[in-house]
Chains A and B, each alone.
Chain A
Amino acid sequence: MSVKIKEYPGTPLREEDLKQGKVLLVSYWPKARYVWSAGVAIGRYLTELKNGRIVGRLCSKCGRIVVPPRMFCEWCFRPNDRWVILKDSGVVNTFSVSRITADATRIKEPLIPAVIQIDGTTDAGILHLVGETDPEQVRFGMKVQALWKPPEERTGSITDIKYFRPTGR
C-alpha cells in the first residue's frame, strides 16, 4: 500500500510564511487558572517545608517510607500509617546538566536537575536541583544536603529549598 501511494497529504509551512502573512492566523491566549487543593498529604509536606523540614509517610505493612508523602501505600493499597520527619540530606540517584529553561530558552549558567534520594527513605527520591558545584564534579551516589531559604522567605513550596549542595562526606 505504501508503495502504491504517489503523494502523501500535508502542506509544510515555514516560520517565515507565518511572519510574512502568507497564511491567515487566529491567535488566542487561554486563561486557564486553577487553585489546587494540596490535600492532607501534600498540605503537610508543604507546611513542613516552610518550617524547614522534609516529611515522609510510613506504611508499616511493607515498611516503605515515602516522599513526596501520600496518605496511602500504592503497593499494598491501604492507608499508610504515620508521618516521619526525615533528614534534609540525601544521595544523588541520577542527574543531568540543563542548558535550557522550561520553554526551551537557552541559559548561560547551567542548571543541574537531579533525583535526590532522601536519607532514611526506601527508594524515595524527589526532583530538585544541585547547586554550588561545578557540573563536572557531580557524581552518581554523591552525598548532598538541602540549602534552605531563610525562614522569612519561605512560602510553603518545594522551592523553599534553594538547592541541594554536596557535603563532600
Chain B
Amino acid sequence: MTAKVAVIGAGMTQLRSITPDLSYKEMMFEAAVKAYNNAGVDPRKDVQSFVCSSEDFWEGTSIFDEYVPDQIGGSLKPVCTISGDGLYSLITAYMQISSGLIDVAAVEAHSKASEMVSIRNIMSLALDPIYVRPLAADPYFVGGLEMARYLHESGNTREQCAKVVEKNRGNALRNPYAAHPSKTTAQEVLASEAVCHPLGRMDIAEAADGAAVVVLASEERAKALCENPVWILGLGWCSDTPCLEAREWGEAVYAKITAERAFRMAKNVRPKDIDLLEIDDSFSYKELQHLEAMGFCKKGEAGVLTQKGETAPDGEIPVNASGGSLGMGYTFEMAGLQRLCEMVLQLRSQAGERQVKNVRIGLVQCWRGIPTASGAAMILTSERS
C-alpha cells in the first residue's frame, strides 16, 4: 500500500523526574522548536493545523486547550485538543491530512506529572463515581486485579514480569532521553513492596516530565520537505468498556482490535514483519499482555520470550529498546508520542547507542492507563513500498 502521510520531523525534551525550573509552556516551546527544525518548517507559515493532547485534571486547569497555541506557533491558527494520548492526536492529524483539508500538521503532548501532588486522588476521579469510587480504594487496585487475572489466564509469572522491568530499565541506560535508567534486577522488583498484590512498587513505571512535538505531512509535501520521511502504513484505535464490572480482565481486547485494524490497513504487513515494537509497559505485565493481544506471540508465550531474551534489543522481536515507560518514565498523555519519537529515530538510524539493527518497519502502541481499556497503535516504515 502506498502510504499517504508521513512523519517529517520530531522533537522531544529530555524526560526528567521533576522540572521545577520550567513551566509547561517553556517545555512545549523547546520540543516544538526541535521538531520544526527537524522537519524544516516554519510553524507560522507552513503548519496548517495543530493537534494537542491533554486532560484537565492532569494539568490542574479546566479547558487546558486555552493554553496550548502560543508556544507551538499556533496562535490564530487551526488548533484543537484531543483528550487522549498523543497517538490519538497524531491519528486526528493523519485524518485531517488524509481528507485533503490540509497538508502539514503538528502534534503535541506533554507531561508535568511532578506537579500533581495528590496523584492517587486525581486518578480516583476517573473511577465511576457511583459504583467504584465509594469503595475508596487505592486506584492502583485496577492494575492489581488485572495483573492477577492476566497471570492466572496466561500462565505467565511474576518473575517474567519482573524481567520486563529489568530489561527496560537496563535499555534506558543507553537512552539519553530517559529519566529512570538503572541496573535493576528482577529479584529487586519481586522484593519491592506490594502496592496491590501481585502488583509491586517496582512493577509500576515511575512518572516523568517532558514534552514532544511531531510534524506530519501529506505525501507530496513530505517528498518536497524531507529527506527521510517516516511513512504511516497503518493505524488503529479502540475503546473497550469503561465499566470495570463488564470487562475482560485477562486479555487486552482493545489492543487486539487496535492491532487488527492497524495490520488490516497496512495490508501486506504481518506481525512477523515488525522489526521493533515500542509498546505500553506502564505496568510490567502490560508489556506481556500487549504482546500477546496484538498477535506477536501466543497467549502465555510472552513471558518465556522475555526470559529467553527474545525481546531484548538484539533479540528476535525487540520490544522497547528505548527503555519504554519503565525506563524512560511514564508521561501520561505523552506516552504514545514519546514512543513514536523513539521509533522515528530508530527508523532513521539515528538512535545512537540504542539503535536496533535493520529497523525498517516498526509498531508503536499506547494504552490510556488506569482505569481505561482504550488504546491506539500505528505501524510506520522508513521505506517507500
By a beta-carbon cutoff of 8 Å, the part of chain A in contact with chain B is 26, 28, 30-43, 70-72, 74-77, 79
Contacts and interface: CB of A to CB of B under 8 A. Distances in A.
A2 B36 CA distance: 48
Given A32-B57, A75-B44, A39 B129 contact: no
A73 to B, nearest CB: 9
B22 to A, nearest CB: 5
B125 A34 contact: no
A70 B70 contact: yes
Contacts of A42: 23
B180 to A, nearest CB: 20
Highest count of chain B CB atoms <10 Å: which of A40, A77, A79: A77
A44 B43 CA distance: 28
B23 A37 contact: yes
B130 interface: yes
Interface of B: 19-26, 29, 36, 42-44, 57, 60, 69-71, 73, 75, 112, 115-118, 121-122, 125, 129-130, 133-134
Contact of A32 (B43, B71, B75, B122): B122
A74 B57 contact: no
Given A28-B133, A37-B115, A72 B20 contact: no
13 contacts: A26-B129, A28-B133, A30-B122, A31-B121, A33-B116, A37-B115, A39-B22, A41-B23, A41-B26, A70-B25, A71-B29, A74-B75, A77-B73
A39 B70 CA distance: 16
A38 B19 CA distance: 10
B132 to A, nearest CB: 11
A79 B20 CA distance: 20
A32 B60 contact: yes
A42 B67 CA distance: 14
Contact of A39 (B25, B122, B125): B25
B73 A74 contact: yes
Contacts of A79: 29
A38 B23 contact: yes
Contact of A35 (B57, B69, B117): B117
Contacts of A43: 23
Given A31-B121, A39-B26, A72-B29, 12 more contacts: A26-B129, A32-B60, A33-B118, A37-B20, A37-B115, A39-B23, A40-B21, A41-B25, A70-B70, A72-B70, A72-B71, A74-B71
Given A39-B25, A41-B26, A77-B73, A30 B115 contact: no
B26 A74 contact: no
A72 B26 CA distance: 8
Given A32-B118, A36-B115, A77-B44, A71 B26 contact: yes
A57 B69 CA distance: 19
A37 B29 contact: no
B134 A26 contact: yes
A37 B19 contact: yes
A77 B43 contact: yes
A79 to B, nearest CB: 8
Given A28-B133, A74-B73, A35 B115 contact: yes
B179 to A, nearest CB: 16
Contacts of A72: 29, 70-71
Nearest to A77: B73
A30 B70 contact: no
A31 B118 CA distance: 7
A102 to B, nearest CB: 13
Lowest 7 CB-CB distances: which A-B pairs, in order?
A39-B23, A34-B60, A74-B70, A31-B121, A33-B117, A77-B73, A33-B118
Contact of B23 (A26, A30, A40): A40
Contacts of B117: 33-35
Given A26-B129, A26-B130, A74-B70, A34 B26 contact: no
B268 to A, nearest CB: 40
B125 A32 contact: yes
Contact of B42 (A36, A40, A74, A77): A77
A31 B42 CA distance: 42
A79 B26 CA distance: 10
Contacts of A30: 121-122, 125
Nearest to A29: B121
Highest count of chain B CB atoms <10 Å: which of A33, A43, A74: A74
A28 B132 CA distance: 12
Contacts of B125: 30, 32
Nearest to B23: A39
A37 B75 contact: no
Contacts of A41: 23, 25-26
Contacts of B69: 74
A28 B314 CA distance: 50
A26 B132 CA distance: 11
